[in-house]
């Protein structure tokens, strides 16, 4: 693999003076040389990652324990599914009909590698790399480090499988996980790979009528937005200015850096003017009936957008979960309070509707076999549901953080559906067979895309040879 040059984004924007046009996007869209051909491990060409931020309860969804005592099993009842012997929660009836597509991993764990903090756990899941113990001790104060963090899995895919056309290799929407709390979790950025492989962020548009809510069918891509007074003629003028600036820079800077700038700028201009790109992000092109089938929330419509993007050719799309806030701690899956109410009324039904719609939609379009779908969070929930955090409050008990067991759902991309992988103890507290770690999740994604181990070796800023996946093996889920 080639060495990576880390060029200052701030210096680039200051030198070119293009920030107001959103053309700072240019350095986010570099592509390296042609990747090696697929080696055929899996059948995936694309990945859709539904990141269920907050930590969904395993025992109330895909790993139910109806024979456990009530303080563990909770209020919900398991139902049979389309695959004999596999059960799931009664509030997932649509997905129950599509279990022939699903590989359900019940033995995900982070035991011994975290303190149960959302930031540390999200970093581990989103990169496949463990945080150092000193970082784990910082908890929510462990902020993203743009130049030194391990890269997000989507950024690694961008590095290994760059796109040739106008569309980026990795897109995240409708916002970064936890950004509205003021503590954006690390692991969502390109880190050591450099900003050239940063995912394109597509933001949901805030709805002033809904507290912490967003308009479900409106997304904004700031880098595609031109100020009203900036015409395409003015863009052409800016391009001429860039050529002059680069000619000057070429006399004082490394020529390879200038070549990279040229590449980045060209891609930025193509994004701003490409009809194909704008069409890919236009949900109004979808029938009303299909938009309703996914659901009328920003996360559900973001999932529909994800399908449009993989159909257009984007290799990796991430949808970060957020639902309109109804009471404390439930815009995500962090159900410390009123666990069963929130799961029953909106969290599980929304997941059921949008994920079943995605699988159905991909299948009908002949895209499921070439698209790996993954749905998981960064932790599970405590088997015992009397969370002490809400004692003495007006809220009903919920489930606390739990890193020792959690679930992951896979479908498509060569995955054999209708299977359960791993098992937990009688209260869904700890794996008792086939434990799976976040590094294994990352390895499974790379395996499905045919990304070889040697492609994950890079030179860091100090010239040292490092591996973008230090540990982990593909989970044997493939047909």
pLDDT of residue 403 exceeding 60: yes
Whether the Cβ atoms of residue 198 and residue 190 lie closer than 8 Å to each other: yes
pLDDT digits (tens, 9 = 90+) for 368-402: 999 999 999 999 999 998 777 777 777 888 999 99
Beta bridge partners of 89: 78
**Rounded-to-5 percentages of helix, strand, coil across the chain:** 35, 15, 45
The lowest-confidence range among 34-48, 246-260, 329-343, 369-383 is: 246-260
> What residue has token string 């001429």?
240
Q: How confident is the model at residue 460 (pLDDT cuts 50, 70, 90)?
A: confident
Q: What is the pTM of this model?
A: 0.84
3-state secondary structure at position 218: strand
One-character DSSP codes across 26-47: GGGS---SPPPPP--SS--SEE
Please tell me the distance from the alpha carbon of residue 96 to that of residue 92, in angstroms, as a whole number.
6
pLDDT digits (tens, 9 = 90+) for 265-303: 555 566 666 778 888 888 999 999 999 999 988 999 999
The model's pLDDT over 108-132, given as tens digits with 9 standing for 90+, comes to 999 877 778 898 999 999 999 988 8
Class of domain 44-221+281-467 (CATH, top level): alpha beta
407, 381 Cβ separation under 8 angstroms: no
Q: Which of 162, 216, 63, 90 is nearest to 451 (CA)?
A: 162
Residues with Cβ within 8 Å of residue 65, at least 6 apart in sequence: 59, 72, 73, 383, 426, 427, 428
The yes-or-no verdict on residue 319 having pLDDT over 90 is yes
Whether 237 shows a pLDDT value over 70: the answer reads: no
Residue ranges of alpha helices (H) inside 45-160 are 70-73, 93-96, 118-127, 133-136, 153-160
The whole-number average pLDDT for the span 325-329 is 48
What are the beta bridge partners of residue 103? 410, 419
Rounded to an integer, what distance in angstroms lies between the CA atom of residue 465 and that of residue 318? 28
């Amino acid at each position: 693999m080639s060495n990576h040059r880390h060029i200052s984004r701030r210096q680039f924007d200051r030198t070119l003076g293009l920030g107001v046009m959103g053309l700072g996007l240019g350095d986010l869209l570099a592509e390296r040389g042609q990747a090696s051909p697929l080696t055929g491990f899996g059948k995936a060409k694309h990945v859709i990652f539904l990141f269920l931020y907050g930590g969904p309860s395993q025992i109330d969804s895909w790993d139910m324990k109806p024979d456990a005592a009530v303080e563990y099993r909770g209020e919900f009842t398991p139902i049979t599914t389309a695959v004999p012997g596999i059960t799931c929660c009664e509030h997932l009836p649509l997905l129950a009909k599509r279990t022939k597509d699903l590989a359900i991993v019940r033995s995900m764990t982070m035991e011994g590698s975290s303190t149960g903090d959302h930031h540390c756990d999200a970093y581990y899941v989103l990169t496949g790399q463990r945080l150092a113990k000193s970082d784990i001790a910082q908890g929510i104060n462990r902020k993203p480090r743009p130049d030194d963090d391990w890269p997000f899995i989507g950024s690694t895919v961008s590095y290994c499988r760059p796109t040739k056309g106008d569309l980026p290799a990795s897109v995240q929407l409708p916002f970064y996980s936890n950004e509205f709390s003021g503590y954006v979790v690390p692991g969502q950025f390109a880190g050591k790979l450099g900003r050239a492989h940063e995912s394109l962020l597509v933001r949901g548009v805030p709805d002033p009528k809904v507290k912490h809510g967003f308009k479900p069918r409106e997304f904004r891509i700031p880098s595609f937005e031109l100020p009203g007074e900036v015409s395409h003629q003015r863009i052409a003028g800016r391009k001429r200015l860039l050529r002059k600036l680069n000619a000057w820079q070429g006399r004082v800077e490394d020529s390879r850096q200038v070549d990279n700038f040229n590449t980045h700028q060209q891609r930025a201009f193509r994004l701003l003017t490409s009809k194909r790109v704008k069409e890919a992000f236009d949900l109004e092109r979808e029938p009303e009936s299909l938009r309703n089938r996914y659901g009328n929330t920003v996360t559900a419509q973001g999932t529909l957008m994800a399908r449009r993007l993989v159909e257009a050719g984007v290799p990796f799309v991430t949808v970060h979960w957020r639902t309109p806030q109804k009471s404390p701690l439930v815009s995500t899956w962090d159900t410390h309070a009123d666990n069963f109410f929130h799961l029953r009324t909106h969290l599980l039904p929304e997941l059921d509707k949008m994920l079943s719609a995605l699988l159905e939609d991909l299948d009908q379009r002949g895209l499921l076999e070439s698209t790996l779908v993954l749905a998981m969070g960064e932790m599970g929930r405590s088997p015992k549901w009397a969370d002490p955090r809400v004692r003495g409050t007006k809220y009903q008990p919920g489930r606390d953080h739990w890193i020792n067991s959690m679930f992951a759902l896979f479908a498509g991309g060569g995955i054999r559906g209708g299977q359960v992988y791993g098992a937990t103890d009688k209260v869904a507290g700890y794996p008792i067979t086939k434990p799976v770690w976040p590094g294994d999740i990352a390895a499974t994604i790379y395996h499905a895309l045919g990304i070889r181990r040697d492609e994950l070796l890079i030179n860091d800023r100090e010239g040292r040879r490092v591996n973008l996946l230090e540990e982990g093996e593909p989970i044997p889920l493939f047909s």
